[in-house]
Structure 1
């Protein structure tokens, strides 16, 4: 079977959706596949990654997180004509890609829409793309949501609930296993901070990640600890200027290998995201696999509080409440047995639900079921 994957970006460009897209392509390796994405610069390139052809369409600019490119539409149309896919696997949000796709997709071609998130921050823009989203979901044979909570809370998905399958994001467990030399690196991190308990954050420094609330909470944590902040983003400088505490350490961008070391060295993983832009929380699952209990906010309609369970693998606080977040961190810092129990629960949960082994067969089954569905209720869409 021929499968055309269409998304915003693709590795080695980093990101949660990009990692999911790559994993799906790897999982479906027995099929003939082609990937079309935007490039992160103004040039169209064609390359082969892991035996799969990848076309990166030139992109001149980005508006409201949407890359803008005429070449992207041209490449989609050319691929549909020449590659002649049986199934198109489309990653959303990507309104411009959805427009191009609906203009070009033939009636016989099956469509899977992977609904990572709907547009949260750009509310005015979302009013304009809602009709496009509705057409995209009507045209789809199958829709993938990353958690049951997100599917239940998303109105567009509720209207198409008969098509929705829940397939969680997954992590590559092998990336987080420790070799003997890795253990030494973890111990060196602990020694660097003189054995003081470590609270760890990693993520883009953007509004919805809630890092500002973690910095506010730090002032209210009476217990001895250090707070290590990895990552970078548009808010980095402002956040650094607002925080003068000597126990907050800014790590900047770190490698995948370093990320693993810090997950294992941490006593508490801070995941203070505040909106449904955080649809799942891959970093949360990664920290859980490394046996680290987490603190989170209650994010209604997000998968965050389904990934890590309050009282089982995490302590959950009312959304945007730094004082409550500080109390949750203190509770974990003061109770090693609680940390151990939650950490063990976290490892088990990831193995059962969010490992590659747990999700691989779900994607294969999805493709098989999509292939067998009929088109009697699908009408061509006029754009």
Structure 2
């Protein structure tokens, strides 16, 4: 009787019942893999963790000319728009807007990742429920061009915030100190970043992939990140000169060439040379190399200096392999250290404070086992809670759609 009624309703209303159809999620951001940043890696975690449950498409920019326009990867699709020209850390692309208008028609939920210059325009171009992932504030720093770009992105972001049904932030701590979010706090939901290396914590070590040798008897302090101003690398180099301990070596890993908006490597080269063998420059690492990097270091340092840094996912990645952490005492960035109780905090932009924190945490390393650190971070920051939180939000926002599919 129920089946007959379903068929009657379908024929009468011109709809086909589609209970098994996967809901379609459109993820939108300016830069995506193989570009590596906190924003792109967080969005990548969203796509990969939800690809088995939803029909996922990522719309992004073609930041390298040899990348394919359309690519299938890990169960989801990446669509890349051609930029007209690059502007500061972003770009202008008419193709991006055209592709969005097309793809949003097929989507049940649109997931906009901010900061993005087009976020306000995109939010106005769709009537679909918008799940905004607010990854960080835009710090008003740099020259005239950078400040103009930041002002435009901020203005656009306010429009997107107004149009969004829900807004994900990487921590409540960061959201509470964000001026842009104060008028929309009733829509804000905390979702900690996924710990993409959690399943590799107990895998066998493979030191052969490391780009350098571990020197016996020396403590290793590591840095991972793009060589950009907000990471505070200049502050770190000043702190390294203050540490000046032959038993401590600093490994600096990260992209210093293909960086949107430009690297600060040229400004740092003279200071790097002056530090001699105390610093080892590793460049960008593959995931396999990064895992062994985390296993090798005793302490990870993240000396970020402004609100472009909202969390610092490398902290929980390093802790997964037992490393302790030193970071700056800024909202959001301090979350991993405060929640796990392992590591130290330094005043942002203060090389003396950073030096003291590094020394203190190196002392902590003597009595703190790597296994204890691993357990602490995996209890709070894990992929299961991340994907469950996003699934709950997507199902909530799409609850009124996707049940009946119209048949023309």
**Structure 1 length as normaliser, TM-score?**
0.86
* Structure showing greater Rg: 2
Offset, 1:175 = 6.1
Offset, 1:69 = 0.5
Q: Is the 8 A contact 2:114 2:157 kept in 1?
A: no
Q: Is the 8 A contact 1:168 1:359 kept in 2?
A: yes
Question: What is the rounded CA distance, in whole Å, between the counterparts of 2:351 and 2:83 in structure 1?
Answer: 39
Counterpart among 283, 291, 298 of residue 252 in structure 1: 283
Change (3 A) 1:345 1:72: same
Task: Specify the alignment match of 1:76 in structure 2.
Answer: 100
Change (3 A) 1:97 1:46: farther
Task: Specify the alignment match of 1:63 in structure 2.
Answer: 87
Task: Specify the alignment match of 2:326 in structure 1.
Answer: 295
Question: What is the rounded CA distance, in whole Å, between the counterparts of 1:240 and 1:310 in structure 2?
Answer: 36
Offset, 1:50 = 2.6
Task: Specify the alignment match of 1:182 in structure 2.
Answer: 206
Q: Is the 8 A contact 2:124 2:163 kept in 1?
A: no
Task: Specify the alignment match of 1:380 in structure 2.
Answer: none
Deviations 1:57-84 (A, max 9, x none): 0013221212210100111112234x2x
Note the 1:22-61 alignment, pairs <5 A: 22-28=44-50, 29-41=52-64, 45-61=69-85
Counterpart among 352, 360, 366 of residue 393 in structure 2: 366
Task: Specify the alignment match of 1:272 in structure 2.
Answer: 303
> Pairwise CA RMSD of aligned residues?
2.5
Q: Is the 8 A contact 1:351 1:358 kept in 2?
A: no
Change (3 A) 1:290 1:196: same
Task: Specify the alignment match of 1:381 in structure 2.
Answer: none
Deviations 1:283-333 (A, max 9, x none): 11111111111111222x3x1101222992111122222112212222233
Question: What is the rounded CA distance, in whole Å, between the counterparts of 2:149 and 2:278 in structure 1?
Answer: 40
Q: Is the 8 A contact 1:313 1:345 kept in 2?
A: no
SS in 2 for 1:14: coil
Question: What is the rounded CA distance, in whole Å, between the counterparts of 1:336 and 1:88 in structure 2?
Answer: 44
Note the 1:84-163 alignment, pairs <5 A: 85-99=107-121, 101-106=122-127, 109-120=128-139, 121=141, 122-163=146-187
Counterpart among 233, 241, 251 of residue 219 in structure 1: 241
Aligned pair count?
362
Question: What is the rounded CA distance, in whole Å, between the counterparts of 1:112 and 1:231 in structure 2?
Answer: 30
Instruction: Structure 2: state its 5+ residue gaps.
Output: 1-22, 257-262, 402-408
SS in 2 for 1:53: strand
Question: What is the rounded CA distance, in whole Å, between the counterparts of 1:116 and 1:373 in structure 2?
Answer: 27
SS in 1 for 2:301: strand
Q: Do structure 1's residue 357 and structure 2's residue 387 form an aligned pair?
A: no
Offset, 1:37 = 1.0
**Structure 2 length as normaliser, TM-score?**
0.81
Instruction: Structure 1: state its 5+ residue gaps.
Output: 375-383
Deviations 1:333-360 (A, max 9, x none): 34444443xx555423421222212311
Offset, 1:373 = 7.6
Q: Is the 8 A contact 1:173 1:355 kept in 2?
A: no
Deviations 1:155-213 (A, max 9, x none): 22121111111001112235643544526768x833xx232111111111111111111
Q: Is the 8 A contact 1:267 1:292 kept in 2?
A: yes
SS in 2 for 1:309: helix
Change (3 A) 1:278 1:181: closer
Offset, 1:87 = 1.1
Offset, 1:91 = 0.8
Task: Specify the alignment match of 1:378 in structure 2.
Answer: none
